[in-house]
Chain A
Amino acid sequence: MQSWIPFIPESASTESSRVDALYFYLSGVTAFFTLLIAGVIIFFVIRYRRRTPHEIPRPIAGSHALETLWSVIPFVIAMSIFVWGAGLYFHQSRPPQNAIEVYVVAKQWMWKIQHATGQREINELHVPMGQKVKLIMTSEDVIHDFFVPAFRIKNDVVPGKYTTLWFEATKPGTYHLFCAEYCGMNHSQMIGSIIVMDQTGFNDWLSGNANQQTAAGAGQGLYQTLGCASCHGNTGEGGRGPALLGVYNNKVQLSTGQTVQADEAYLRESILNPQAKLASGFGPIMPTFQGVVTEEQVVQLLAFIKSLSSQPAGAGGAPGAQGSPKLPVREPTR
């Protein structure tokens, strides 16, 4: 849209033109005040230059009216920027429910990407145009940052927790992916591409890469081999451990009497550090899986647990091992 304006990066998401609009407003305000101050100073410096070495100008005490004026006007302008910026930020930090979910695991110095449908990529992310995409990100080592200038989005990728980003691409093309948080020797080579394709192209790409297990399918395999099933039940119906059916994004009563939302962060913590927040009615018998499973495997387990939630109760099992090219658009959880 603003491609005729120099020094503005490509604009390829629904977010980018909104951020640019605020940027232009800020640039205008900055230019106005900088020129105002510079103009006033230059005018005064010339107009009131010293004409004789002896002149002593009359002192001027100051003016409460002026002080008020030049406190209030900047404050009002600052508040307009604050409200505008905070509104966009709030919107941007709330991923929509119907987004395609993609898992991102960062490590020195690469981006490992796993689609819910099973496709895996390194340093590349293929996404369809016109669909909302939500990234669920974590790091295996240090803090990284997922930065796509063309989408005007960025968020740190932090070890030990999940952070999210979402976007809706508006223009096919290949865009920069940068790591924006300094992460060591090859920080500047921890780069990649976001490839935005139209729907047909994306479907072709999906089916061309379909001979892989879905994330949930891989998670189901882990669920069995790690022995989760012996306590949580073959189909997640529960046993000595709490039931996993329908647990995702629902409330869990803790042994302390508190209630938590079973989001990705809670489920991850319960795998890696089960004693931290025990579900009410269950003993502290689950071993920790810290160091046993990688971040990518945790992500697969989560995908499996989520798939339990989105299936009608009793259907059991996970989606078939063969990823279907159908898009995994999840129903909003109620």
Chain B
Amino acid sequence: MTALAGTGPLVRLCLRRDRLKLLIYVLVVGAIPIGMAAAYKVLYPTAAGLQAFADLSMSTPATVGMLGLIYAPTVGALTAWRAGLNGMFFIAPVSILLIVRYTRAEEAVGRRELLGGSVVGRQAPLTAALIVVCAVDLLLGVFIAAGLISLGLSAAGAVVMGLSAAAAGWVFAALAAVTAQLTVSPGPARGMALVMFALSWLVRAVGDLGRAQGLAWLSWLSPLGWVRLTRAFADEQWWVFVLFVALGAALAAMAYALSARRDLAAGILPVPVGPAEAAPALNSPRALAWRLHRGGLLGWSVAAAGFGLLLGIVGVSMAGFVDAPQMQAWAQRMGAHDAGDAFLFLTMFVLGQVISVYAILAALRLRSEEVEGRAEAVLATAVSRLRWALSHVTIAALGPAVLLIVLGLTIGLGYGLTAHNLVQDSPRLLHRTLLTLPAIWVVAGIAVALYGWLPRRAAALTWAAFAVFLALELGWELQQVSQSLFNISPFAHVHWSIQVTAAPLLGLTALAAVLAAIGLLGLQRRDVG
């Protein structure tokens, strides 16, 4: 088997590079279902409590769409439901990213070539990557099963649940092994596999939501559907693992066949080409920044539109769902029509925080452009630092505004169409969505300020500040953090539960502008590169 020569050392190389990260991944992702099982045992000590919780969850379309069906009102079955698909949000992307990291990314930077000169067979890197990732997924599954058994849950259910997580990880690892053969650069290989992940999510969600319409069979077409269809802790269906193994093996076989056929560093798909000359408009730092950010902004906009439509539609059904009198009173205090509105306000606020992530990423693009030497190329031309930096800061400021507008309009559209009051509802919901914008600007402003003065630590400190804001909010909601402490967070001043006035909005906007100006001043004075 000369094609596999050197697999052992390559496995050790992968582990040497990532052993700590892999260990943390297994412990953290594995701890989530174990923690949930422990929490359910405490929260719902009676069968009636479990039944009530299960009924409540199953009657909410949003949770069924997100998490799938509950098969039995027991601690084990609820854990498998709550953590099963939730865990796939980590396991599938991590498996995909690791495979591409060990295979195509290595080839793209030329390190694979370095190894090719030594005694390494042509299938060895792919084999080593699959061994490492599948072993890590299996370890995660074993950890979950062991944790659940130690909590006194049934061994069969625990093993099925752990194995479901591992087996789904294997399928997405094998899928990434295929996409890694197709393209020359690692980005599209990751992208294609992640899109397939999103599609299997969608297919499963439609199957679970549309079971009354006879669409349940759709869930059987998706490996993510199988994660629930193994029915851990609810009459386990062991034979479903045949599906996982068959699909995983078929994908792996395809990856090997493609890998054997292609040249080193080549792909199967044609290399994308671009224009031989730049369009006349590509003549300024701003045009360049727009070109670099537009793909990402489009992706985020599509996601925001999808979420917005879904939420708008779900919001109407929520109106009848949480119609308790105290919810009504609270909703009226806030200027919301009903509890459905209140649900939308909360969700808009949380999605606004998610959009802060976009703002941070866009602002920190300054740093990655600098680190990777591309800023140098621009700054060595007749472009001032200020002009270059402003080109990205503009995107970090306007991008979130675009996303919030898309979100607000689609929520209004979904809500208005379902509730037949489009003209009245849309402006009201759009207005509420846009209220988070000044807080998002402050977060972006922090990123720019740190970039100007502490470029090396800018990314870490910005994310840390963002995490602190979220933690303060959580503590405040649990009444462990005082209002004045929570007020440190910009989100405190646009929180969904308060009536937001103009003064804090103007204050936050001014603060964001000052922070950005401080950052740009720092950039003027320091070394670049």
> Are A and B co-members of a single complex?
no
Q: Which residues of A contact B (CB under 8 A)?
A: none
Report which B residues bind A (CB closer than 8 A): none
